[in-house]
Structure 1
Amino acid sequence: MKEEDIRELELRAILEASNDNIVIADGKGKVLRVSPNCYSIYGMKTEELVGKTADELEKMDVWSPSVTKRVLQDKKEVQVMQHTLTGRSVMATALPVFDEQGEMIRVISFSHDLTELRQIKEDYEELRAKMEYYQSEIQELRDKDQHMDGIVLKSKELSNVWQLIHRVAPSDATVVFLGESGVGKNVFARAIHDKSNRSKEAFIEVNCGAIPETLFESEMFGYEKGAFTGANKEGKPGLIELANKGTLFLDEVGELPLNLQAKLLKVIQEKKVTRIGGTQTKQIDFRIIASTNRDLQEMVREGKFREDLFYRLNVVPITILPLRERKDDLLQLCEFFLDMFNEKYKTDKVLHAATINEMLDYSWPGNVRELENLMERLVITTENRVIYPSALPFHTKESQSEVFELETEELPEQADNLQEALRDVEIRWLKRAYRQYKTTYEMADYLGISQSSVVRKLQKYGINS
């Protein structure tokens, strides 16, 4: 077999075996050979392509733009994205072939079908958009759940409490909430009721420390008409009766006197109540939830709280940490109460970063109740839109002069123009941030600019030198 016949076989084998679409044109752009798989890409058979020029095929929209035509013009390798007659997208690469005299005698192009890849990319982008949407929806639902009735669950500790509440709510187990005053024990007690099978029935809240001892029995157990002087002529049901099929919440149960603890224990054990002055016993179906800011176990050791009542109440103890021990919740609660009171009083107040820092350093002895009251006070009483540290009741003069000077600062009179004045103000802000924060990331968050900008500006003004 002749050498030229062997080369012909080799070339034909390459064209037929290639996964890419190969088009060979002469030095004037006339198509000489094409690989057999071109039909699926360009929509024309081999014999229809051969003999036509690249320019003619471009005008017929077989491919657009023509990579062969570009190589003939630029006389170098060219790569373009083509759109074909069949609506496909292909990446076409063409290179020139020169003879010994430097004349271009051939243009060989290779094109790879990217239609499926483009479709995969579009599907991926669509899927990513859906995922972002679903994630935002999930986060919105999670945030709504975490802000129910003022409950904010940013911290891990409170999130664990919330999960425990979800687990115990469907049962009738007695729950006792332990924690300082103002941490929101009554809010969590209400949440258990709302998530229980008794949610459609009454939630009766009894502040055991607020009812006088002389009136406690009549308030709790009720009385029949004429039971005592000054009693309602028709009689009155007690709070325990009113909690029938619902929930009885005993707030500050540690304040109960010992003699009343015995009577309460009997009602909890038997679920029966007899009104004062009456003889008929009523069966009452209620769930007990209690709360206290006292150490009940210590009170039992001191003889101030009945041991049997303690064990009746201490079935599921849940401790709510004070606000000073969950600073993550503090930030979320600030935002929650600020939004709530802004909406209530039709304002648009915001907290300055220095104000937030002082609030984080404060011990919050009154816990969430103190924070809620403070946020309402700040929204009502502050004149400016921005709430500065000086508005805080626990703000000191030392911190006022050291942490925040901007409130009383004026633009420097020695500035000759606006640019110089702005430069001086920028330096003051940077110096203030440099005094207050340890890292450039914290400074960037305080100043509202990027960390790289902080580094650049500190170097520019020599503040960190």
Structure 2
Amino acid sequence: MDMQSEILELELDAIVKKSKDNIVITDGNGVVLRASPNNYAIYGSSTDDLIGKSVYQLEEDHIFSPSVTIKVLNERKEVRVMQNTKTGRSVMAIGLPIFDRSNEIIRVISFSHDLTEIEQLKEKFKQLQKKIERYETEIQELRDNEQIEGNTILKSKAIQQIWQLIKRVAKTDASVVFLGESGVGKTHFARALHQASERANEAFIDVNCSAIPESLFESEMFGYEPGSFTGASKKGKTGLIELADQGTLFLDEIGEIPLSMQSKLLKVIQDKEVILIGGVRPKKVDFRLITSTNQNLSEMIKHGSFRQDLFYRLSVISITIPPLRERKEDIAMLAYYYLQKFNEKYRMRKSLHPATIDKLIHYHWPGNVRELQNMMERLVITSETNIIHPDNLPSDIQMDRTQKTDSLLLKNMKGKTLREAMEEVEILWLRRAVKQCKTTYEMAEFLGISQSNVVRKLKKYRIKAKPYQHL
């Protein structure tokens, strides 16, 4: 062998041995001449097992399955095939024919690249896609169950039942009174009832009875003829009741209507006619009446401040909206709804930290939905970071009820003896331990006293531990 041939041999040997791809070289009959050392890892056969063997036999033995070399010999061109080896590998094999001057194949060189990891990644990706599809389905189901219809959060069962009742009642012209605390959304549900009715395309006249002075109530509600009294407009004025003709008249805070006006309102409801101040001829009016109040009308009837006959006319259908503290399922969705609303309004991108949501859910919301709405608007405007953390919340919301009780205890210590104050402190710390720890042993470690001492003090101060905390 001359020097040039020896160098070429060394170069070829180095390429075969050092290549990251598996290389197999056969002659024109498919007999293996050279093979990379990494054949064993991929095909489960060592170099010595392959050299001198025919690729036809190796394919029968499922070493090369299928053999890319055989395909090259048959098709006389470059071929690519995917192989699954006995070692469980996925391999991409490329076969290249080498022709002599007579156009006969004298060599076939195949390169095999292990794609097992890529195939595994593809499989994982498919699994992830399936999971994503499943999650999307579950999310859609949650959205169906927790839908927002007409800007109404329908997560809690109580609100879902109210919504179904509203849709049924909307098909009739029956008078409806919404009951509930201030801020629960009575006006919102009144508008929803109007929008679901056949009068949806007509006027919705919203009258806050508490905002109209008693001296102006009659003129505002019934209207007046031109020059009917001193200071009256020369053109006269159409009353709010007449404006609601063919539409819906919503009397918010009906409990605030002056007693002197209740009989006149009752007559309008009964006769569907209104007489303007200074007028003599009644005008026909056709309206759907919806009212709301946060007062106990039955008690007002007992005290003589509300007419019983008017009450019966108003409350053909009575719907009570529960306070927000009694439908905690709605709090998170309402918070996210108003967050999105005010983000759009103020062109912000604020989000809520999970701990913030937890604080909102555990707050008792004395101002109900109105308080939550106002607070979310304030947080979107005032929070310095895009993530709204618990420390951005008002102090009343940051403190849970236990903390508020503890704070009150500390204030009440003023003027007490040292012994009394020490007992108050013990109670405070024991309550914290009960809340934070799982067992009385953990409480003991938390408080720095013995477990038996913890049990004794809990009994002394009649502090109830959870069943599992006695372990």
TM-score tier after normalising by the smaller chain length: 0.5 to 0.7
SS at match of 2:342: helix
Shift of 1:353: 2.2
Shift of 1:146: 2.1
Alignment of 1:282-293 (within 5 A): 282-293=283-294
Shift of 1:263: 1.1
SS at match of 1:171: coil
The aligned residue for residue 163 of structure 1 is 164
Equivalent AA in structure 2 for residue 267 of structure 1:
V
Shift of 1:72: 5.5
Identify which range, 256-265 or 390-399, moves more after superposition: 390-399
Q: Quickly say closer, same or farther: Cα 1:192–1:397, change in 2 above 3 A.
A: closer
Shift of 1:362: 1.5
The aligned residue for residue 146 of structure 1 is 148
Q: Quickly say closer, same or farther: Cα 1:348–1:307, change in 2 above 3 A.
A: same
The aligned residue for residue 200 of structure 2 is 199
| In structure 1, distance between residues paired with 2:166 and 2:330 | 18
| In structure 1, distance between residues paired with 2:396 and 2:174 | 45
| In structure 1, distance between residues paired with 2:213 and 2:227 | 21
The aligned residue for residue 225 of structure 1 is 226
Q: Quickly say closer, same or farther: Cα 1:148–1:397, change in 2 above 3 A.
A: closer
| In structure 2, distance between residues paired with 1:138 and 1:372 | 26
| Structure 1: stretches of 5+ with no match in the other structure | 1-68, 76-127, 403-434, 439-465
The aligned residue for residue 345 of structure 2 is 344
SS at match of 2:249: strand
Q: 1:49-69: per-residue Cα shift (whole Å, max 9, x none)? A: xxxxxxxxxxxxxxxxxxxx9
- What is the percentage of aligned positions where both structures have the same residue? 56
Query: Are the aligned partners of 1:300 and 1:306 in contact in 2 as well (CA < 8 Å)?
Result: yes
Q: 1:194-219: per-residue Cα shift (whole Å, max 9, x none)? A: 11011111100111111001100000
| In structure 2, distance between residues paired with 1:341 and 1:205 | 24
Query: Are the aligned partners of 1:389 and 1:395 in contact in 2 as well (CA < 8 Å)?
Result: no
Q: Which runs of 4+ in 1 moved over 4 A?
A: 69-72, 128-143, 395-399, 435-438
SS at match of 1:308: helix
| In structure 1, distance between residues paired with 2:132 and 2:382 | 44
The aligned residue for residue 60 of structure 1 is none
Query: Are the aligned partners of 1:273 and 1:281 in contact in 2 as well (CA < 8 Å)?
Result: yes
| In structure 1, distance between residues paired with 2:179 and 2:398 | 37
Q: Quickly say closer, same or farther: Cα 1:374–1:229, change in 2 above 3 A.
A: same
Q: Does 1:183 align with 2:184?
A: yes
Q: Quickly say closer, same or farther: Cα 1:72–1:314, change in 2 above 3 A.
A: same
Query: Are the aligned partners of 2:360 and 2:397 in contact in 1 as well (CA < 8 Å)?
Result: no
Query: Are the aligned partners of 1:296 and 1:310 in contact in 2 as well (CA < 8 Å)?
Result: yes
Q: Quickly say closer, same or farther: Cα 1:233–1:359, change in 2 above 3 A.
A: same
SS at match of 2:283: strand
| In structure 1, distance between residues paired with 2:351 and 2:260 | 51
| In structure 1, distance between residues paired with 2:139 and 2:203 | 36
Q: 1:85-118: per-residue Cα shift (whole Å, max 9, x none)? A: xxxxxxxxxxxxxxxxxxxxxxxxxxxxxxxxxx
| In structure 2, distance between residues paired with 1:315 and 1:190 | 18
| In structure 1, distance between residues paired with 2:377 and 2:59 | 74
| In structure 1, distance between residues paired with 2:330 and 2:350 | 20
| In structure 1, distance between residues paired with 2:285 and 2:437 | 60
Shift of 1:357: 2.1
TM-score in terms of structure 1 length: 0.56
| In structure 2, distance between residues paired with 1:269 and 1:161 | 27
Q: 1:155-199: per-residue Cα shift (whole Å, max 9, x none)? A: 000000000001000110100000001111001000111110111
SS at match of 1:285: coil
Q: Quickly say closer, same or farther: Cα 1:436–1:187, change in 2 above 3 A.
A: farther
SS at match of 1:260: helix
| In structure 2, distance between residues paired with 1:348 and 1:437 | 38
Alignment of 1:331-370 (within 5 A): 331-370=332-371
Please point out which of 44, 50, 61 is paired with 1:73: 61
SS at match of 1:209: helix
Q: Quickly say closer, same or farther: Cα 1:376–1:133, change in 2 above 3 A.
A: closer
Shift of 1:73: 2.5
Q: Does 1:256 align with 2:257?
A: yes
SS at match of 1:298: helix
Shift of 1:131: 11
Shift of 1:139: 6.8
TM-score in terms of structure 2 length: 0.56
Equivalent AA in structure 1 for residue 236 of structure 2:
G
Equivalent AA in structure 2 for residue 146 of structure 1:
I
Equivalent AA in structure 2 for residue 73 of structure 1:
D
Shift of 1:361: 2.0
Q: 1:117-136: per-residue Cα shift (whole Å, max 9, x none)? A: xxxxxxxxxxx999999987
SS at match of 2:360: helix
| In structure 2, distance between residues paired with 1:396 and 1:141 | 30
Shift of 1:341: 0.9
| Structure 2: stretches of 5+ with no match in the other structure | 1-56, 64-130, 404-434, 439-471
| In structure 2, distance between residues paired with 1:397 and 1:324 | 16
SS at match of 1:356: helix
Shift of 1:394: 3.0
